[in-house]
Structure 1
Amino acid sequence: MSKIDWIPDGCRDAALFSILALCWGSSFVAIEIGLEYVPPLLFAGLRYAIAGTIVFAYAAVMNDRVRPAGRGEWAAVTVAGTFVIALYHGLLYLGELYVSGAVAATIVSTAPILTAGFAGVVLPEERLAPAGIAGFVLGLVGVIAVVQPSSAALGSDVTVGAVLVFGSAVAFALGSVLVRPIDSALPIETLQAWAMLIGAGVLLGWAFLRGESVAAIELTSATVLSFSYLTLVSGVFAFFLYFELLERTGATQVILVSYAEPVVAMGVSWVALGYLVDSLTLVGLVTILAGFVMIKRKALRSVLRSALDGASSTTP
């Protein structure tokens, strides 16, 4: 984003955060609607083929580097494309064949907790303290509250969907950790563009192996609206917001969007589909958030202190 001057300076970060949460939270419901008419992997693959092309053009204008150089940078875009784009979205779209967008968003909100857990194993300098381990366990308890497993429900479509969506969160978290030690100087826009295009290729190949066909797409107004929204708003526009917010506030604050997304998804599901989540799903979301706070307590304390210092310095 090059121009955000239309947003008052005092509330600019909060406004960007809210818009990003709205874009990404509503995407879970848009996926749920679009899956009525489009095969899941084909849906995700076509979405990111178009979004990746647009972000690539943006990266070419904004940066002087549009191509990875060396093994490290090619490894970075390949890992990000395979795990963060292809596996994450492939499993998410497949999972949403069985669970609602609101439930999927709540389960996916475990991704930051899983990221911290994997980082503690893969990266010795980020090993979790006992409180962090307790937060990780608390996050898993939150997922159990959302899924509400029982002997009768085991093997049901809802359980299958929840497992697939949780697998998508695992893929996202694992990819986010695996890409960190890789030596890469690629601008974030360029890395994201290549990841989208590589991920789209993996998704479309996966769709072919699964037997999905373009002929199975039902071209309706809902199809066009869902696909356009996911590609242009939740995809391209939201990533531009993400780049801007990341530069302005840092990764710790941006990651908090993950916990606003389920709330947005619940609201949009209620307005658009008349779907209400049950109380245990809300309990699960709060439990997952509590687990994240336990893991990231030091970083969050630092963010809060900076925000309070900034507020006091602007007080007349």
Structure 2
Amino acid sequence: MSPRDCSLAALVALLWGLNFVVIDVGMAGVPPLLFLALRFVLVVLPAVLLVPRPAAPWRTVALVGLFMSLGQFGLLYASLAAGMPPGLAALVLQAQVIFTVVIAAGVLRERPTLAQVLGIGVGTVGLLVVGLGRGGHVPAAALLLCLGAALSWGVGNVLSRASGVAGGLSLTVWSALVVPVPALALSLLLDGPDVVLAGLGSLGWQAALSTVYTAGLASLVGYGIFNTLLGRNPAAAVVPWILLVPPVAMLSAWLLVDEVPGAAELVGGAVMLLGVLVALRPAPVEAVDRPLAAAPH
């Protein structure tokens, strides 16, 4: 990855790390799937009227939205509602790095370099350190939902990479079309119309600002950049940067909502940062993967 792409990947990690605190604050009193539907309404409108449709089949665009947006965030928000602490959710969700690299290696034949494998391994150890230090009282259902979100994200990453779309913003906007209606329908089914109406009535300035942040910065800016990076770099070179999200999430929770991290979080976060540095070591010229061939339409 070029220095410019590395800077963009670090920006995405910053935006997404802050996102967990923003979601936790904004979702108070609002059903999670309703909150998800509102977020993606703002992602789609009015951007879908201004951004050209990506040069990919409709099926590919829909599948990216199904896995990267609806699946990932539907399961993540459900996990938070089921008792998963936001800081720990940020960590468990990084299992997507492993899922992405493994799926990309099997489906796209993108072999990770030795440094990337070692870095991901080190980052995973850091993830386990933090998880073992904090996860003793997390409901099993919440943990499984969060792991499901990570798997869905990993599949979405590979679909985005395989699409061959160079402009990440177009794919982000148009793939988001599949989110609002199913999310609202699931909220009505699982929460009930009365709860949904009460949630709409309780929307305040915190929920409004949270929705604007998650839709504008986390989704449009963050996923626009992320999908662009996946379009021009091997998946194994991009996704290790997302291991920076949990340390950012923990630091922001510490500074903004006084959630003081424990020893396991600090040690594990440091190990995860080390894993990123190892994974991002430049590969020898002869070991760099060849560009991915255009995906079949």
Which TM-score applies when normalising by structure 1? Answer: 0.71
Q: 1:168 to 1:285 in 2, by over 3 A?
A: farther
Whole-Å separation in 2 of the counterparts to 1:106 and 1:303: 31
Query: Deviation string for 1:236-290 (max 9, x for gaps)?
Result: 3444555777789886665454133222211221122110222223343445555
Once residues 149 and 270 of structure 1 are traced to their aligned partners in structure 2, the CA distance between those partners, rounded to angstroms, is 17
Alignment of 1:176 onto 2:157: yes
**Structure 1 position 301 matched with structure 2 position 282:** yes
**Matching of residues 56-75 of structure 1 within 5 Å:** 56-60=48-52, 66=53, 73-75=57-59
Instruction: State the Cα deviation string for residues 107-147 of structure 1 (Å, max 9, x = none).
Output: 22332222001223334x23568887776665554443333
Give the corresponding residue for 1:215. 198
Q: In 2, Cα distance between the equivalents of 1:252 and 1:134?
A: 12
* Matched position secondary structure for 1:38: coil
Pair 1:176–1:234, CA change in 2 (3 A): closer
Is the 8 Å Cα contact of residues 168 and 223 (structure 2) preserved in structure 1?
no
- Structural mapping, 1:2-17, within 5 Å: 16=8
1:78 maps to 62
Per the alignment, do residues 159 and 135 of structure 1 end up closer, same or farther by CA in structure 2, a change over 3 Å counting? Answer: farther
Equivalent-residue separation in structure 2 for 1:50 and 1:282 (angstroms): 35
Gaps of at least 5 residues in structure 1 are 1-10, 61-65, 305-316
In structure 2, relative to structure 1, the CA distance for the partners of 1:223 and 1:129 (3 Å cut) is closer
The verdict on how the C-alpha distance between 1:172 and 1:283 changes in structure 2, with shifts beyond 3 A counting, is: same
Closer, same or farther in 2 for the Cα pair 1:263/1:204, shift >3 Å?
Answer: same
- Give the C-alpha shift of residue 166 in structure 1: 2.2
Aligned mates of 1:46, 1:302 — CA distance in 2: 42
SS in 2 for 1:268: helix
**Alpha-carbon distance in structure 2 between the residues aligned to 1:139 and 1:237:** 25
- Identity of matched residues, %: 27
Q: Quote the Cα distance in structure 2 between the aligned partners of 1:243 and 1:179.
A: 6
Distance in 2 (CA, whole Å) between partners of 1:19 and 1:133 is 23
Q: 1:186 to 1:214 in 2, by over 3 A?
A: farther
2:248 corresponds to:
264
CA deviation vs aligned residue, 1:70-106 (integer Å, no higher than 9, x gap) = xxx1221121111100010011112223233322222
Does residue 236 in structure 1 map to residue 202 in structure 2? no
- d(CA) in 1 for partners of 2:7, 2:166: 28
Aligned residues: 279
- Give the structure-2-normalised TM-score: 0.75
Q: What is the DSSP-based 3-state SS (H/G/I as helix, E as strand, rest coil) of the residue aligned with 1:219?
A: coil
1:48 is matched by which residue type in structure 2?
F
- SS of residue matched to 1:36: coil
Pairwise mapping of residues 112-151 of structure 1 onto structure 2 (< 5 A)? 112-123=97-108, 125-126=109-110, 140-148=124-132
Query: 2:184 corresponds to which residue?
Result: 204
Give yes or no for contact 1:107–1:146 (8 Å, CA) kept in 2.
no
Partner residue in 1 for 2:28: 36
Q: Which moved more, 1:125-134 or 1:18-27?
A: 125-134
Correspondence 1:188-203 to 2 at 5 A = 188-203=168-183
Question: Could you tell me which of 2, 5, 13 is aligned with 1:21?
Answer: 13
Distance in 2 (alpha carbons) for counterparts of 1:53 and 1:274: 35
* Partner of residue 47 from structure 2, selected from 37, 41, 55: 55
In structure 2, stretches of 5+ residues that fail to align are: 286-297
| d(CA) in 2 for partners of 1:17, 1:133 | 19
After TM superposition, give the deviation of residue 149 of structure 1 in Å.
8.2
Q: Distance in 2 between matches of 1:133 and 1:245?
A: 19
Q: Take 1:244 and 1:138, find their aligned partners in 2: how far apart are those partners?
A: 26
Q: For 2:282, what is the secondary structure of its paired residue?
A: helix
CA distance in 2, matches of 1:242, 1:187: 10
